[in-house]
Homo-oligomer: A and B are copies of this chain.
Amino acid sequence: MTITGSPTGVDHGLAGDETLDVVAIGNAIVDVLVQADDRFLDDQGLTKGTMALVDEAQAQRLYGSVGAGLESSGGSAANTVAGLAQLGSRAGFIGRVRDDQLGAIFSHDIRAVGACFATPAATAGASTARCLILVTPDAQRTMCTYLGASVGLDPVDLDLEMVSRARVLYLEGYLWDSEPAKRAFIAAAEVARAHGGEVALSLSDAFCVERHRDSFLELVDGHVDLLFANEIEITALYRANTFAEAVEQVRGRCRVAALTRSEAGSLVLGGGDSHLIEPVTLGPLVDTTGAGDLYAAGFLHAYTRGLDLQTCGRLGSLCAGQVVTQLGPRCQVDLRELARRQLALEPLSSNQAP
């Protein structure tokens, strides 16, 4: 467990000519999970369930005022990639860490589940991104993110050869907070589509949608085949008054929209139909960190195997239902075995892809 030195140069174990089910671009982040109460959120001016960006000084001040933590690799799209790899998908991740101890932890963990990760670690500049996740007694998480080295993701860092082999290129909306990362994503989306891949976007967070509404609207109409959003995000995107109104707005704008609603399950729009998906409860609710990320993992695993949208939604619900029973955003159980047991989904080859 030597957590020093540069996390570059590791063989990612995937042959250079293989098709990848999903390649994701996102912020490469290590999470610091701490318990907090509602009063602490109020005192710090934080809005429960959302993500706030902080600079290094704010991060330092906040960290100094919270209790002992548990560290886990995180990052929204990276969590999705880890879930996909655990399910048996061939998945790759593109994101930027620094050559520091947290960067080595991030790099180890995403490769350890079998994902391909080869973005060179920065050798200078800001340290690896960290997210302070405050878990309240109601299991909700509230995040304060210091983007650090992640912000520097540039088109130059993109492994476009890997992108060209993706069936689905997946983006987290959080990247929109960084101009170079945003440009990197648009460049990658063009390459993916030129090679027959589809483009997926997760809206990530309501505040993130508020910050970047116009460019998200443009992106959804112009580049996105699969859209992932929760109720608050999709409502914010279309400035709708109700979920139903937002549903009517998004219908037909992209091939598939998967809209999650926490304990109300999810609604999947596609092929002119709507599919209502029940939520899955596997135990007491402990921490909602990673719920949306794991929903996307389950969904995309089934999707890239050519399964129907109902099954995609059900596998998404199952993976989300698992991750909320534990602390942290990376599943600590065998997801393949869970899918087999709960949905009778046998390990699937991706040759049946759409």
Contacts and interface: CB of A to CB of B under 8 A. Distances in A.
Interface of A: 1-4, 32, 35, 56-57, 59-60, 62-64, 66-73, 82, 100-102, 105, 108-110, 112-113, 127, 130-132, 144, 146, 327-328, 330, 332
Nearest to A332: B35
Contacts of A32: 1, 3
A59 B112 contact: no
A102 B3 contact: yes
B130 A68 contact: no
A328 B70 contact: yes
Contacts of A57: 2
A3 B130 contact: yes
Contacts of A146: 1-2
A59 B4 CA distance: 11
Contact of A101 (B70, B101, B112, B330): B101
26 contacts: A1-B59, A1-B62, A1-B69, A1-B130, A1-B144, A2-B56, A2-B59, A2-B146, A3-B32, A3-B127, A3-B130, A4-B100, A66-B112, A67-B112, A67-B113, A68-B73, A68-B109, A68-B110, A68-B112, A68-B330, A69-B109, A69-B112, A70-B71, A70-B328, A71-B105, A100-B101
| Protomer copies | 2
A81 to B, nearest CB: 12
A100 B63 CA distance: 16
Given A1-B130, A2-B60, 15 more contacts: A1-B62, A1-B66, A3-B32, A3-B130, A4-B100, A4-B127, A63-B108, A66-B112, A68-B82, A68-B110, A68-B113, A69-B109, A70-B70, A70-B328, A327-B332
Nearest to A85: B68
A107 to B, nearest CB: 11
A57 B1 CA distance: 9
A316 to B, nearest CB: 21
A130 B71 CA distance: 14
A333 to B, nearest CB: 9
Contacts of A327: 327, 332
Given A2-B60, A2-B146, A101-B127, A71 B71 contact: yes
What are the 8 closest A-B residue pairs judged by CB atoms, nearest first?
A71-B71, A1-B63, A68-B109, A2-B60, A1-B132, A101-B101, A2-B59, A1-B32
Nearest to A70: B72
A244 to B, nearest CB: 39
A327 B21 CA distance: 32
Nearest to A109: B68
A146 B4 CA distance: 12
A109 B134 CA distance: 15
Contact of A64 (B63, B71, B108, B144): B108
A66 B109 CA distance: 9
A32 B108 CA distance: 12
Contacts of A131: 1
